[in-house]
Structure formats: C-alpha cells, structure tokens
Structure 1
C-alpha cells in the first residue's frame, strides 16, 4: 500500500491485486451454484488495493459510507474466454456414471487451466457516476 492516508474516494485506486485462484473460484461458484460471488475492495481506499473473494446478496446498499467496491469476476475475462463446461456437455455415450464423472472433472480442470490465459490487464472501476480503468496484478 502507499504511505498516504486512505481515502473515502474510490477514484484514488489505480491498481488492484487479485489472487488468480480466488478469481477462478468466484467464476466457478457463480456458474455452478448460482451464487453471487464478487471480488471486493474495502475502504479506506489507496492507489494500490487488494481484491478478495466475497459472497454477497448482490447489494452494496447495506454497507457503510463509502461502500466497498464489488467487481463481478466476469469483468476480469477477455471476450475469448472459454465457457465453463456444463455437465450435459461432458456426458459420454453410452452413458456410464463413472466415465461421466471422470470426463466432467477433466473438463473442469482443463477450463481452470485455460482460463488463466484469458485474464485482462485492466478492469473498469465504477463508483457512482465516475469510472476509470485500473490495472490488475494477478497473484499466484
């Protein structure tokens, strides 16, 4: 973090660090369990911040002022990112339970590996009626 005192204004944020495993877990949770998992930055805000995985009800209205920043994990992916493998897509023919489980597990592991090459270097930070791009640094 920088040495200046934290601010209540989120526009001071210029870069965020995200653990790649947190991002992948958030993406998977939202796709598999119909959850609302975000990557969250909490105030006070600094030029360099860390975004952490957070399960939310989807609303930031219940937070103090200023509220934390919530980033949808999808915003970290470029437009060519592969889709999460659906169970029906990995179904073998003829059907066999163990083979289906193995195929789906392998497809998910392949997705987890390949998604790492589709991460954006910047994301849009929107706070109220102000927005700007921030750099993203991936950890792990």
Structure 2
C-alpha cells in the first residue's frame, strides 16, 4: 500500500551503475548527483539516478535524495590524471607517452568503478522530516 510516509519504506533497490555514475559525477565536479526515491512510498522502492536542482520541489511529500557516498562503504579515492601521470613517470619499466597515460588512466578509472560497485552497502539511513529511518539496500545489475 502506497503512502506519503517515507518510514513505510523497508528496502530500496539501486542499480549498481547508477550508484557508481552518481559518485563519479560528484567526485569529478560536484554535480549534485543523488539517488532519488519518489513518493508515493511503499515497502519496496526504487532509487534512481537524479541531479538535484535548487527549489526543485514544493509539493509534499518531497522525494528522498540519497547522496551516493552514503551508499558506498569507504569509497576509494577517485583517480586523477595527474596521479596517473606521476605513477607512469615513476615506473622504470615504462616510457611515458600520451597514449600510455590515457590507457593507464582509463584502467585506473575502470578499477575505481569496480571497487565502488563492490562496496555498496547493505543498508542506509533515509533522512526525512520525521527523522532518520534505516532501510535495506538491494543492488541490481
């Protein structure tokens, strides 16, 4: 049965790729990416990738916005091109080339994305007008 009370939610389903993409977007430039749960609320809900905008909702109940960092247990640091370049230049077994730098950075980002996907939490606390409410997290994909 659907309701306006987010405390009726027992679990949320998130797509693995949505969590990774939202966290990456925020790490690369603070895009305001979140996972959004939209009312009416029921026991099992889907949280979808969304970019927040100021003054977005005036109606009640408002959707629940979950920062992707709260859905990942101890997310690893996002690899920067500068850090990748430094590691490549310090590698005595490889000469620096732009192509090699690009390949290594792409591999570092792929490893980061995999690490994030493997670290999605089993539960999360939703914050709403009536206070915190803990729910299970089901990972899709």
Q: TM-score, normalised by structure 1?
A: 0.88
Root-mean-square deviation (CA), in Å?
Answer: 1.5
The answer to whether residue 52 in structure 2 is matched with residue 56 in structure 1 is yes
Structure 1 60/45 Cα, relative in aligned 2: closer, same or farther at 3 Å? farther
CA distance in 2: counterparts of 1:129 and 1:61, whole angstroms: 20
Q: Shift in Å at residue 74 of structure 1? A: 0.2
Secondary structure of the structure 2 residue equivalent to 1:132:
strand
The answer to whether residue 139 in structure 2 is matched with residue 122 in structure 1 is no
Matched ranges for 1:32-43 at <5 A = 32-43=28-39
The answer to whether residue 19 in structure 2 is matched with residue 18 in structure 1 is no
Secondary structure of the structure 2 residue equivalent to 1:114:
helix
Number of aligned positions between the proteins: 134
- Per the alignment, residue 108 of structure 1 pairs with 109
CA distance in 2: counterparts of 1:63 and 1:83, whole angstroms: 35
Tell me which stretches of 4 or more aligned residues in structure 1 moved more than 2 Å.
59-63
Structure number, greater radius of gyration: 2
Unaligned stretches of 5+ in structure 1? none
Secondary structure of the structure 2 residue equivalent to 1:50:
strand
CA distance in 2: counterparts of 1:103 and 1:73, whole angstroms: 26
Q: Shift in Å at residue 60 of structure 1? A: 6.1
Match of 2:65 among 55, 62, 70: 70
CA distance in 2: counterparts of 1:56 and 1:125, whole angstroms: 16
Match of 2:82 among 63, 80, 88: 88
Secondary structure of the structure 2 residue equivalent to 1:66:
coil
